Structure 1
Amino acid sequence: MALTIYGDRISGNCLKVKWTAEKLGIPYVWRETNVLDGETRTTGFLALNPAGQVPIVILEDGRALAQSNAIMVHLAEGSALIPADSYERAKMYEWLFWEQYSHEPYVAVARFQMAYLGKPRHELDAKLFERGGAALQRLEDGLEETAFLVGDRISLADVALVAYTRVAHEGGFSLTDYPRVVAWIARVEAELGIA
């Protein structure tokens, strides 16, 4: 029995789970779950995840697991995507926590509002762009000395952060001021086999 991933292909949070499974060669069944059509609010879906969010995975033993970064960590346990060195592993977690608190709420939210809800930039809170820009600068600074966010090899930190960074332009962010980020996106996409 394969892993089942409930996800929406417009969601970077869902795609990063998919990419992790693919990078690790974990077989899965994808169940497209359209957020815009309210599929995460149905009785059947809420029975799987009372929070009404994707992604959620149903493990081979039938247990459910939600929250993209928790799912990725579970899937990658014991793999090279989680650094063996305790300090580097902690740095990976630092980036994962930061991604959900200081990157995704701005870059991803601006993208969703503009690309999927059709709102023009001037109707959105200016703080989305201020804080999203600060997040992109933090990535730029974090890549000053290394090819990836935690050293010279890909980790879950890169998978998590590339998901929305690579489509930041859809949320009104220009990456031209972040050349290290642009080069890093290309490296991570190559490692994951995505384009």
Structure 2
Amino acid sequence: MGLISNMHLYDSTIPSGNAYKVRLLLSHLKIPYTTTNLNILSVPPETRSVEFLAMNPNGRIPTLVLNDGTVLAESNAILFYLAEGTDYLPDDKLQKAQALQWLFFEQYSHEPYVAVWKFRTYWAPGGFDDLCESEVKKLRERGQEAIDVMETHLGSGREWFVGDHYSIADIALYAYTSAAEMIGFKIDGSVKAWLKRVEQQEEWIKIKNDPTGKCLS
């Protein structure tokens, strides 16, 4: 595959869906790596340390350090890099663009609502208390809209989001959708069946446990 082994992943101590995407693909590809878990709940978060900001000025996880020291940030960019030349990214030009389409959808229309709802449900001090009613409503509605888009796409007879194969499009969307029903979003039949298909893939791993005990996924 030409991929570099002995990578180092900066993850969070609590279960991050964005970091989970990377861990899941690394597991599928059987690529060895080491991990540093950073406390993003501390004040300030460990991702805002001088050392980490020197590596990733955006101060976020996941961050992947390649064997040659090159730093790669942003979960879906990391997925794209790791999947290049593997079965997890289509060779076909159009299907590759469609995979990117779903990665962009996940980060723009899905993650900002479903992931934020999950974080506020379990870990944010005060939960939703600092948001006005309209802001809470927007989070809920936009998150559900994204999941409904997924249901419509899969409900047309598709097993996977792009072509006929499991790909990084599925991995990106799986991470937070797998927790969506537990935090109150409605998951319909096609998405439920797709979640099960993802979990049947070789070398699938579950998202890590929450050391705070607040999230039981």
Q: Same fold (TM over 0.5)?
A: yes
| 1:174 CA displacement | 3.0
The corresponding residue for 2:199 is 189
Match of 1:11, as an amino acid? S
Greater fraction helix = 1
In the alignment, the residues of structure 2 paired with residue 132 and residue 84 of structure 1 have an alpha-carbon distance, to the nearest angstrom, of: 31
User: Identity over aligned residues, as a percent?
Assistant: 44
Contact kept, 8 Å, 2:27 with 2:205, in 1: the verdict is: no
Contact kept, 8 Å, 1:113 with 1:171, in 2: the verdict is: no
Match of 1:136, as an amino acid? I
| 1:106 CA displacement | 0.6
Contact kept, 8 Å, 1:69 with 1:160, in 2: the verdict is: yes
Q: 1:180 aligns with which of 177, 183, 190?
A: 190
Does the alignment pair 1:167 with 2:179?
A: yes
Contact kept, 8 Å, 2:61 with 2:74, in 1: the verdict is: yes
RMSD: 1.7
Q: Quick check: 156-165 or 145-154, which moved more? A: 145-154
| 1:111 CA displacement | 0.7
The corresponding residue for 2:38 is 33
Higher relative contact order (CA 8 A, sep 6+): 2
Contact kept, 8 Å, 1:56 with 1:67, in 2: the verdict is: yes
| 1:52 CA displacement | 0.6
- Mind listing any 5+ residue stretches in structure 1 that lack a counterpart? none
| 1:142 CA displacement | 1.1
Match of 1:6, as an amino acid? Y
In the alignment, the residues of structure 1 paired with residue 70 and residue 37 of structure 2 have an alpha-carbon distance, to the nearest angstrom, of: 19
In the alignment, the residues of structure 2 paired with residue 77 and residue 128 of structure 1 have an alpha-carbon distance, to the nearest angstrom, of: 33
Q: Deviations over 1:21-62 (max 9, x none)?
A: 111111110111121121101111111111010000110000
The corresponding residue for 1:55 is 62
In the alignment, the residues of structure 2 paired with residue 174 and residue 57 of structure 1 have an alpha-carbon distance, to the nearest angstrom, of: 33
Using structure 2 for the length normalisation, give the TM-score: 0.84
The corresponding residue for 1:81 is 88
In the alignment, the residues of structure 1 paired with residue 73 and residue 102 of structure 2 have an alpha-carbon distance, to the nearest angstrom, of: 19
Q: Deviations over 1:79-110 (max 9, x none)?
A: 01001111111111100011000000011111
Q: How does 1:73-112 map to 2 (within 5 A)?
A: 73-112=80-119
Q: What is the aligned residue count?
A: 193
Contact kept, 8 Å, 1:115 with 1:170, in 2: the verdict is: no
| 1:120 CA displacement | 5.5
The corresponding residue for 1:157 is 169
